[in-house]
Amino acid sequence: MFIPSDSPLSPADFLFPGVHWVLEILLVVFLALFLWICICARSVRYFWKFPAPAAAGRLIGGPQRKRIQPPSMIVDALVLSPGMKILELGCGPGTFTLDIARAVQPDGTVYAVDIQEGMLEQLRSRMKREQVENVIPILADAEVEIPLSDGSMDAAFAVTVLPEIPDPVKALQQVKRLLKDGGCFADAELMIDPDYPLRRTVIKWATKAGFTFRSKSGNAFRYVLVFQSESQ
């Protein structure tokens, strides 16, 4: 659109009305750069699946994370109560682990599985710092074998883990094996994760693994899906 030179409007006023033009240009450059980084990160992750590095534990498990993805979403979705045995898939630095462990105290336990010792070390430090003892860290690849007995868990959950596992259906079959009949599995995802999957993708994986879809909460930006394990 042609704008006369004496017009009080600059072209960028159509994007951010009332903002100084220098700031507008900086905002446009920042947004373009952010979009470019997102597209690159998603493209790399689409073709090359690998666990989020343990060095990123501080970023993943920082306090700001729980503001945008509150642990109460998991507690409510799984209707947790004291005494329950909970499996956490891909616990990372323990961002959600201790909140879930507190929800099942005094005699419940969280079995926190991760493929990286570096992540489990961060979880152990957090347990010490926050004096939470009812967590058992387990080093295992969920896609291969989780060393726990069949039907021993009341419920299970994973937060931003499934899409970074090369074969998420295999990992979900492990989760199903460990759950009691009727036990629920909650999967939580966040849109700013470069691996973010659509809800229908997670439902497809879980259905293939033999779960029944039960409910969803949240929105496209952050959601929790609940599935139930039933014997065939």
Please tell me the distance from the alpha carbon of residue 15 to that of residue 31, in angstroms, as a whole number. Answer: 12
Pairing of strands 211-218, 153-159: unpaired
95 forms part of the interface with ligand SAM (CB under 6 A): yes
- Structure-block tokens of residue 148: 């726990």
121 forms part of the interface with ligand SAM (CB under 6 A): no
86 forms part of the interface with ligand SAM (CB under 6 A): no
Question: Nearest approach, Cβ of 24 to ligand SAM (angstroms)?
Answer: 34
Torsion of CA 87, 176, 195, 147, to 10 degrees: 50
Contact window for ligand SAM (CB under 6 A) among 29-37, 140-148, 175-183, 220-228: 140-148
Residues in the chain: 232
Pairing of strands 153-159, 135-139: unpaired
Angle at 61 between CA 191 and CA 143, to 5 degrees: 70
HEC states along 28-51? HHHHHHHHHHHHHHHHHHHHCCCC
Among residues 161, 172, 175, 209, the one that binds ligand SAM under rule CB under 6 A: 161
Question: Nearest approach, Cβ of 164 to ligand SAM (angstroms)?
Answer: 5
90 forms part of the interface with ligand SAM (CB under 6 A): yes
Give the per-residue contact string, 56-75, with ligand SAM (x = CB under 6 A; - = no). Answer: ----xx--------------
Question: Nearest approach, Cβ of 154 to ligand SAM (angstroms)?
Answer: 19
The residues binding ligand SAM (CB under 6 A) are: 51-52, 60-61, 90-92, 95, 113-116, 119, 141-143, 159-161, 164-165
